[in-house]
Amino acid sequence: MKDVLYDNPEFFRKYSQMYRSQHGLAGAGEWPSLKPLLPEFKGKRVLDLGCGYGWHCAYAARHGAVQVLGVDNSRKMLDTAQEKNSLPQIEYRCASIEQLELPNESFDVVFSSLALHYLPDYPALVRRVKDWLVPGGDFIFSVEHPVFTAQGPQDWVYGPKGEILYFPVDDYFYEGQREAVFLGEKMVKYHRTLTTYLDTLLQQGFRLRRVVEPQPPQSMMDLPGMKDEMRRPMMLLVAAEKE
Amino acid sequence: MKDVLYDNPEFFRKYSQMYRSQHGLAGAGEWPSLKPLLPEFKGKRVLDLGCGYGWHCAYAARHGAVQVLGVDNSRKMLDTAQEKNSLPQIEYRCASIEQLELPNESFDVVFSSLALHYLPDYPALVRRVKDWLVPGGDFIFSVEHPVFTAQGPQDWVYGPKGEILYFPVDDYFYEGQREAVFLGEKMVKYHRTLTTYLDTLLQQGFRLRRVVEPQPPQSMMDLPGMKDEMRRPMMLLVAAEKE
């Protein structure tokens, strides 16, 4: 397995101090937009790709999921998941999403929060998710928005006084690897177009149920930088159904 | 009816000199991406909202549509449509899209090319299109991409030597009126998010068939400025079906 950034102690320390890491779902700006996209979990078998601290696994379990598999490639993340979000229905497994092997039609719901932009091959993942899901199963995910990933550095353009001028978009149709800085560490992400995110699903036999770009909730508007989140989309939420 | 920009003689003259105005469908960079999204036209009744010169009306008629209604608010555009694209199945009607009244379930296909970003109320239009379509009917449209309309001026940011640096995105979640300059004339367009374009359809009972951001075709890559079109999305193509 490759070097896992989330296992780097310094990065992990900074990640653990983020508002969303400390406050769980309630601390994630997109949660009020994401929650209505989730299916009924009662009696369902749920797979969470890139589960991190396990907040969504615990949410699914507490809402009736009978079996939840949380997958992440960071041991440190999973240690915290065990500590904060351990429930009898949940199994946490340390594995890279790309190498994961699971039986066909063994899940009712596949979920992924902010992980798929780390994968180089999205169409391949969509094919595998389709295999793992039962017919009528749900695939719900959030990713960084193509506007946010296009240029690479993921930073605003600033004016002479350090004020934000606008957000730069470049190289939009050149998909692939980008190097961004997150919490002071260089990390590789993959930019892909909106067409790739959505049309791949449509062409591979998924039906789109919802497509949402979350806006910052009113209740968080006073957090530092939150008002600027009205100026460009940062995330894309998608709910699809295997036909 | 409001002042119609496309009836302004100077604007109309410049518009008529554009590559896409002179070469019809073959001159429109998005046509190779749009064509595969069109339904079978044989035996269909087709409505074209903002039909302009009537290129798409003629295409539908030549591919078997039995009745085509092309609507535009510019007399001058319709005069050219009559001249260039007159066929017995086609009726051209001078009307604003917003004031158009048509019987329920009277069309099999509603089409619109680059016109809906001139309308202030998109959800209202979607409701009306749904009324006009038969169940299973198709709604296919192109609009300017939310990335392209967000900030307003629709221009690149340039470096000291006049070179393109990137495309600016701003005020993304503040939907509404923008003032852009097109062919030297100020014009009002309406910015809306991708969420509004797509999720409105999903929530109003349309099924998405395709979502495509057209890239410039290889064959046009040597036209001035065409390579830069790889750097940001300018259009969004959507094919949906009334359920």
Question: Over the stretch B156-210, which tens digit does the pLDDT of each residue have?
Answer: 999 999 999 999 999 999 999 999 888 888 899 999 999 999 999 999 999 999 9
**Closest partner CB to B195 (pick from A198, A209, A213):** A213
Say which residues have a Cβ less than 8 Å from residue B40's Cβ, sequence separation at least 6: B63, B64
User: Could you give the residue ranges of the DSSP H alpha helices within chain A?
Assistant: 9-17, 19-23, 31-34, 55-62, 75-84, 122-132, 146-149, 194-203
List, in sequence order, the alpha helices (H) in chain B: 9-17, 19-23, 31-34, 55-62, 75-84, 122-132, 146-149, 194-203
Under 8 Å between Cβ of A142 and A236: yes
pLDDT at residue number A190: 98
Beta strands in chain A (DSSP E): 45-49, 67-72, 90-94, 107-113, 133-144, 157-158, 164-169, 176-182, 185-191, 206-212, 235-242
Minimum distance, in Å, between the CA of residue A174 and any CA atom of chain B: 7
- Collapse the DSSP code of A219 into the 3-class scheme (helix H, G, I; strand E, B; otherwise coil) and give the result: helix
Q: Is A172 in Cβ contact with B170 (below 8 Å)?
A: no
| B174 and A CB contact within 8 Å | yes
pTM exceeds cut of 0.90? yes
> What is the C-alpha separation between B202 and A239, in angstroms, rounded?
11
Task: Tell me the pLDDT tens digit for each residue of A44-83.
Answer: 999 999 999 999 999 999 999 999 999 999 999 999 999 9
What's the CA gap between B196 and B153, in Å, rounded?
A: 21
A173–B231: do the CB atoms touch at under 8 Å? Answer: yes
Per-residue buried b or exposed e for B116-136, using 16+ beta carbons within 10 Å of the residue's own CB = bbbbeebeebbebbbebbeee
Mean pLDDT over A201-219 rounds to 96
Of B166, B169, B230, the CB nearest to A174: B230
Q: Which residues of A touch B170 (CB under 8 A)?
A: 165-167, 231-232
pLDDT grade for B19, boundaries at 50, 70 and 90: confident
The token pair that represents A148 in the structure block: 């946010």
Judge: A150–B198 Cβ closer than 8 Å, yes or no: no
ipTM of model:
0.95
pLDDT at B1: 43
- Strand partners for A46: A68, A109
Nearest to B60 by CA among B71, B52, B48, B49: B48
Asked if A26 has any chain B CB less than 8 Å from its own CB, the reply is no
**Does B211 sit within 8 Å of A195, measured CB to CB?**
yes
Q: What is the pLDDT of residues A160-200, one digit of tens each?
A: 999 999 999 999 999 999 998 888 888 999 999 999 999 99
What one-character DSSP code corresponds to residue B150? Answer: S
Q: Would you call B168 and A165 a contact, using CB atoms and an 8 Å cutoff?
A: yes
Per-residue model confidence as pLDDT tens digits over B102-117: 999 999 999 999 999 9
Closest CA to B80 of B58, B62, B98: B58
Q: Which two tokens stand for residue B19?
A: 């590559």
Dihedral of alpha carbons A152, A157, A158, A164, sign: negative
